[in-house]
Amino acid sequence: MIVGGGYTGTMAAARLAARGRSVALLEQHELGWGASSRNGGMVHPGYKMGAGTLLRRYGDRGRQLYQASLDAFALVEETISSNQIECDYARSGHLHLAYKPADVEHLEAEAKVLRDEFGVDARALDRDALTSEIGSSIYHGALLFGRSGGFHPAKYFAGLARLARDGGAGLHDRTPAIAIERRRPGGFTIKTARGEIAARDVLLATNGYSDGLVPLIRRRIIPIGSYIIATEPLSADRARSAIPNRRMLFDSKNFLYYWRLSSDNRMLFGGRASFAPTTTAKARDWLYAALIRVHPQLAGIMVEHAWGGNVGFTFDRLPHIGRIEGITYALGYCGTGVAMSTYFGQLAADWIAGGELPDCWQRAFPGLPLYRETPWFLPAVGWYYAALDRL
């Protein structure tokens, strides 16, 4: 039984079905309703913390963690290619942009680690070199990373759902799991409004929409809103003036911007202004103003679409896979989950089918005392991060 119908759950369903297991997947809303159809479509290795930080903080385990993210990116490309998933995928590379002058040195050091330790095509660009990559004057340099690409997230999800269905998995939307109970001598009973289901194993893959179904998981996941706008299609000249080489872009702020051109030349621009609750309309206006600050040449362009949703953060800013009370979980992508969620879906399926979980993922899943369901600490954390961005 899988709870959660996004990339993780659907990839796991496809993998388990291919291994001959009987699989049922429950999704509270439509299949792919959350970030799996509404993300920015950026596919790249890495986490919120860079490769250099992982090595310093975790040593060899950090090396394994970063290598896993490289493997995750390769898995997405292989999944798209081998299954002929039509999702507008293009390997474009991305730029990690230095918002402050002090960030340039950090990105230069990160590029060296990526090259020397992982053999990754990465190099630092100074402000002069950056002019050939982005039509904006507000950044001080960048890290150019070649092993990344962009796609249409909902089309990719549709491809994963097809794989799962073709393999014989049962995908059930608008069917929330209400409760999970242990059975004797083993297994679980999953209660839904439509009845009860008996299962030997349960995979929880709910990420930013984790609720009280498994309280020990809910208190370890912080749901944070993120928003995206999509402009009307740009002319070829206007698109080229903003992103000449069609890279994917994100900057070094804590409240970062992330943006790219879609296959039909719309500018997709995302981010969040704070951790405070807001509306899509307010987020749309804020993101449009931010887009024009970055790219003044796009002033007057129309915004045709705006949307938002939750990303699932963890207290150590890393994703987690493990078991609590016999329930397998795979979640906590911290806003960088397109590749890792696909990888975790496969990893969780193989683990449930009898494989071994790699040592680097056998880690404690930290929480916060007194945190249950309402993230009361977010306003203070948001103020702190916003202050760091301003300094």
Instruction: State mean pLDDT over 70-97.
Output: 98
> Is residue 377 predicted with pLDDT exceeding 90?
no
How many Cβ atoms from other residues are within 10 Å of residue 18's Cβ?
Answer: 17
163 φ/ψ angles, rounded to the nearest 5 degrees = -60, -45
164 φ/ψ angles, rounded to the nearest 5 degrees = -65, -45
CATH code for position 175? 3.50.50.60
Determine contact, residues 380/226, Cβ cutoff 8 Å.
Answer: no
Task: Give the structural domain span for 335.
Answer: 2-38+155-221+315-380
Contacts of 288 by beta carbon, 8 Å cutoff, 6+ apart: 229, 269, 303
What are the tens digits of pLDDT across the range 158-215?
A: 999 999 999 999 999 999 999 999 998 889 999 999 999 999 999 999 999 999 999 9
What are the tens digits of pLDDT across the range 239-257?
A: 999 999 999 999 999 889 9
Is residue 334 assigned to a domain? Answer: yes
> Which among 286, 275, 279, 240 has a CA at the least distance from the CA of 261?
240
Q: pLDDT grade, residue 8 (50/70/90)?
A: very high
Cα separation of 146 and 91, whole Å?
8
pLDDT of residue 227: 95
> Which among 223, 327, 238 has a CA at the least distance from the CA of 2?
327
> Is residue 371 predicted with pLDDT exceeding 90?
no
Is residue 12 assigned to a domain? Answer: yes
Is residue 335 assigned to a domain? Answer: yes
Determine contact, residues 348/321, Cβ cutoff 8 Å.
Answer: yes
Is residue 110 assigned to a domain? Answer: no
What are the tens digits of pLDDT across the range 303-319?
A: 999 999 999 999 999 99
Cα separation of 345 and 115, whole Å?
28
The token duo for 119 is 């053999």
What are the tens digits of pLDDT across the range 36-48?
A: 999 999 999 999 9
Instruction: State mean pLDDT over 120-143.
Output: 96
What are the tens digits of pLDDT across the range 60-75?
A: 999 999 999 999 999 9
What are the tens digits of pLDDT across the range 321-339?
A: 999 999 999 999 999 999 9
pLDDT of residue 266: 98
How many Cβ atoms from other residues are within 10 Å of residue 361's Cβ?
Answer: 19
Count of domains observed in the chain: 1
Is residue 353 assigned to a domain? Answer: yes
Is residue 292 assigned to a domain? Answer: no
Can you give the pTM of this predicted structure?
A: 0.95
Looking from the CA of 83 toward its CB, the CA atoms found within 13 Å total: 23
Is residue 326 assigned to a domain? Answer: yes
Is residue 60 assigned to a domain? Answer: no
What are the tens digits of pLDDT across the range 262-306?
A: 999 999 999 987 777 889 999 999 999 999 999 999 999 999 999
> Is residue 112 predicted with pLDDT exceeding 90?
yes
Determine contact, residues 170/24, Cβ cutoff 8 Å.
Answer: yes
Element (H, E) at 306: strand 303-313
